[in-house]
């Protein structure tokens, strides 16, 4: 499933945006989230988030392995985000006065990233 929210300034917290937008998810879906979504657990969705090391203790080998698995999936997502941000208009300050252009620019940047990946694979 692909989901692209409206664009927000960089200072807004990811979890707060997700709580405000309240996106709907298909049943039996897994959401791999980073620590920016601490405490975000929508109904009917299985969430996967790396476990933090308890203060003064160590993680068990099973917890470390689970964190590695989650991180191996999350790194793909982070690389996608970096690929989209190749379009500097997305990561720099967008000085536009027309309404909804920021969302359109993000959609175009995502489309360009998908096109670039498709051309690389084909």
Binned at pLDDT 50, 70 and 90, residue 122 comes out as: low
CA distance 22 to 72: 27
**One domain, residues 93 and 121:** yes
Per residue in 40-70, pLDDT (tens digit) is: 888 888 888 888 888 899 999 999 999 999 9
Per residue in 66-77, pLDDT (tens digit) is: 999 999 998 998
Task: Mark residue 73 as left, alpha or beta (left: phi above 0; alpha: psi -120 to 50; beta: remaining).
Answer: alpha
Structure-model confidence comparison of residues 121 and 105, the more confident one: 105
Domain span including residue 71: 59-122
CB 38 within 8 A of CB 49: yes
**One domain, residues 39 and 67:** no
Q: Is this prediction's pTM over 0.85?
A: no
**One domain, residues 64 and 93:** yes
Which pLDDT score, from 0 to 100, does residue 1 have?
A: 57
In total, how many domains does the chain have?
A: 2
Q: Where do we find the tokens 């099973």? A: 62
Q: At what angle do helices 101-121 and 61-84 cross, to 10 degrees?
A: 110
**One domain, residues 69 and 40:** no
Contacts of 39 (CB under 8 A, 6+ apart): 15
**One domain, residues 63 and 121:** yes
């Amino acid at each position: 499933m692909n989901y692209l929210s409206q664009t927000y300034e960089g200072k807004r917290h990811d979890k707060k945006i997700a709580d405000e937008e309240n996106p709907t998810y298909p049943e039996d879906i897994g959401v791999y989230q980073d620590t920016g979504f601490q405490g975000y657990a929508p109904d009917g969705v299985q969430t996967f988030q790396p476990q933090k090391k308890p203060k003064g203790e160590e993680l068990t080998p099973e917890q470390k392995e689970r964190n590695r698995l989650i991180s191996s999936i999350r790194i793909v997502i982070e690389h996608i985000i970096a690929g989209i941000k190749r379009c500097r208009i997305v990561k720099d300050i967008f000085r536009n006065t027309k309404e909804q252009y920021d969302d359109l620019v993000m959609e175009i940047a995502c489309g360009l990233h998908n096109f670039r990946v498709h051309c690389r694979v084909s």
